[in-house]
């Protein structure tokens, strides 16, 4: 891994709270124990499996949740080839439980984005968010989804009552 001190000036945003790391092919990450949103510990790296570590946007991100549901449907296949899925969101645990609580793989809450910085994951720029390729991917994901429930997490029902006299 590159020297983090030399990377401080390379951080993409002035308001970045943590020094961003950079990794090269073949680098080994330091061992860490994390707590998933269900309170169970997991170790990264895993001694028995490759870890597919994903850094996602906020917990309610429709595109992220559609993609994660597609991975969840094929979770047994992923495990069979020796890969462990771990997904990280920069959201609070309570919020993530509503959207990622039923995933068959580990979901990590990182509201302070400490892991994001440790792994060199920056913020999405406005320019990349407006890139037509991003919107095409979202459109394809939503079109393939049998319903929007998988895209937006659990349904929320709000009752509006009117007082009668």
CATH of domain 4-152: 3.40.30.10
Task: Judge contact between 116 and 12, C-beta under 8 A.
Answer: no
Q: Which of 105, 114, 112, 109 is nearest to 93 (CA)?
A: 109
Distance between CA atoms of 117 and 164, rounded to whole angstroms? 54
Domain regions of the chain by residue span: 4-152
- Given the structure tokens 């709270």, which residue do they identify? 17
Task: Judge contact between 84 and 50, C-beta under 8 A.
Answer: yes
The helix (run of H) or strand (run of E) holding residue 67 is helix 62-73
Residue 25: both structure tokens together: 């092919």
Spell out a b/e string for 13-50, using b for 16 or more CB atoms within 10 Å of the CB, else e: eeeeeebbbeeeeeeeeeeeebebbeeeebebeeeeee
Q: What is the pLDDT along the chain (165 residues), one digit of tens a residue?
A: 433 332 233 333 444 444 556 778 877 788 999 999 999 999 999 888 999 999 998 888 877 888 898 899 999 999 999 999 999 999 999 999 999 999 999 999 999 999 988 888 876 666 666 777 767 766 766 665 554 444 444 333 233 333 444
Task: Judge contact between 65 and 153, C-beta under 8 A.
Answer: yes
Q: What is the pLDDT of residue 79?
A: 94
Question: Which pTM does this prediction carry?
Answer: 0.66
């Amino acid at each position: 891994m590159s020297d983090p001190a030399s990377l401080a000036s390379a951080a993409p945003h002035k308001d970045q709270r943590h020094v961003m790391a950079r990794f090269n092919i073949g680098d080994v990450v330091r061992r860490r124990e994390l707590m998933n949103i269900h309170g169970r510990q997991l170790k990264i790296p895993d001694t028995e499996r490759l870890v597919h570590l994903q850094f996602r946007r906020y917990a309610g991100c429709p595109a992220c949740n559609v993609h994660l549901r597609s991975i969840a449907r094929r979770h047994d296949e992923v495990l069979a080839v020796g890969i462990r899925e771990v997904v990280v969101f920069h959201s609070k645990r309570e919020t993530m439980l509503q959207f990622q609580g039923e995933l068959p793989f580990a979901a990590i809450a990182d509201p302070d984005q400490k892991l994001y910085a440790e792994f060199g994951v920056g913020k999405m720029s406005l320019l990349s968010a407006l890139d037509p390729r991003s919107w095409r991917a979202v459109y394809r994901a939503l079109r393939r989804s049998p319903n929007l429930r998988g895209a937006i997490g659990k349904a929320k029902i709000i009752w509006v009552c009117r007082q009668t006299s």
